[in-house]
């Protein structure tokens, strides 16, 4: 009798225990499931962070590659600039040499022109001197011939007045008395006169100064 009364309660108690066990187990599973979900979310977040990190790494790698290219281009440009500087210095030296040669050539040309001008002036002076000398020579010759005519006329007048023969030789004083101003003329070119005999014309020591 007592067993029949206790049996339902024992079943209820067992069921309660079972339900309590199931509830506890369910709570534990929910807790574990929640933890798993949290771990999954954390893993997703870490994966996202890793993806972001990989993206950043890739960007940094790309930047490094670009920097390397830029560095190589910079080095190339520096090399070209250095070469251009060297070429520029060489061209500057060549230009300076050319300018120096041009200045020397100009100096030589100016000196040659100056020398030519001086020679031209000297030649013109020589020609002018020669012309003056030629004119003076003609003028002096004409003056000397005039003097010789005057001497011959004075000598002939002396011979006529004193009835002297052709071979008579008058003195200078005798001829001077029949000259203008009683003065014996002189050769403008520095020649010396010879009165000669009556039949011969007076002569001068300068070639070309002679009566025809």
- In the predicted model, is pLDDT for residue 195 greater than 90? yes
> How would residue 198 be classed by pLDDT, with cut points 50, 70 and 90?
very high
Phi and psi for 194 in degrees, rounded to 5? Answer: -125, 125
Nearest to 211 by CA among 156, 136, 133, 130: 156
Tokens 């014309």 belong to residue: 201
Nearest to 186 by CA among 198, 174, 200, 172: 172
Q: What's the pLDDT score for residue 160?
A: 96
Return the H-helix or E-strand segment holding 150.
helix 2-161
Q: Give Dmax (Cα) for the chain.
A: 234
Compute the half-sphere exposure of residue 48: CA atoms within 13 Å on the CB side of its CA.
6
pLDDT digits over 163-188, tens only?
A: 999 999 999 999 999 999 999 999 99
Residue 136 Cα to chain centre, angstroms: 55
Mean pLDDT of 151-162: 96
pTM recorded for the entire structure: 0.47
Phi and psi for 150 in degrees, rounded to 5? Answer: -65, -40
- In the predicted model, is pLDDT for residue 127 greater than 90? no
- In the predicted model, is pLDDT for residue 47 greater than 80? no
- In the predicted model, is pLDDT for residue 80 greater than 70? yes
- In the predicted model, is pLDDT for residue 2 greater than 70? no
What is the average pLDDT score of the chain?
84
- In the predicted model, is pLDDT for residue 8 greater than 70? no
| Measured distance CA(129)–CA(98) in Å, rounded | 45
| Measured distance CA(147)–CA(186) in Å, rounded | 8
- In the predicted model, is pLDDT for residue 205 greater than 60? yes
Strands 193-194, 203-204: pairing kind:
antiparallel
Nearest to 161 by CA among 175, 173, 148, 180: 175
Q: How many residues does the chain have?
A: 212
Structure tokens at 29: 């599973």
- In the predicted model, is pLDDT for residue 1 greater than 60? no
Whether the CA torsion 189, 191, 195, 201 is positive or negative: it is negative
Mean pLDDT of 18-36: 73
Residues 6+ apart with CB under 8 A from 194: 202, 203, 204, 205
Structure tokens at 180: 């203008």
- In the predicted model, is pLDDT for residue 44 greater than 60? yes
| Measured distance CA(144)–CA(203) in Å, rounded | 10
């Amino acid at each position: 009798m007592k067993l029949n009364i206790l049996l339902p309660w024992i079943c209820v108690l067992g069921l309660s225990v079972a339900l309590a066990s199931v509830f506890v187990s369910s709570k534990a599973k929910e807790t574990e499931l929640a933890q798993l979900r949290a771990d999954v979310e954390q893993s997703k977040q870490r994966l996202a962070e890793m993806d972001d990190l990989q993206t950043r790494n890739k960007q940094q790698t790309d930047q490094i590659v670009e920097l390397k290219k830029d560095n190589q281009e910079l080095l190339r440009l520096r090399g070209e600039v250095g070469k251009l500087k060297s070429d520029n210095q060489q061209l500057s030296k060549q230009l300076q040499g050319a300018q120096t040669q041009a200045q020397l050539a100009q100096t030589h040309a100016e000196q040659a022109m100056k020398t030519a001008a001086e020679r031209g002036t000297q030649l013109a002076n020589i020609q002018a001197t020669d012309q003056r000398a030629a004119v003076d020579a003609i003028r002096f010759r004409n003056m000397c011939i005039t003097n010789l005519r005057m001497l011959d006329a004075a000598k002939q007048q002396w011979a006529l007045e004193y009835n002297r023969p052709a071979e008579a030789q008058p003195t200078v004083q005798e001829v001077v008395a029949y000259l203008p101003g009683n003065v014996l003329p002189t050769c403008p070119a520095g020649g010396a006169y010879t009165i000669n005999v009556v039949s011969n014309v007076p002569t001068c020591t300068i070639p070309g100064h002679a009566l025809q």
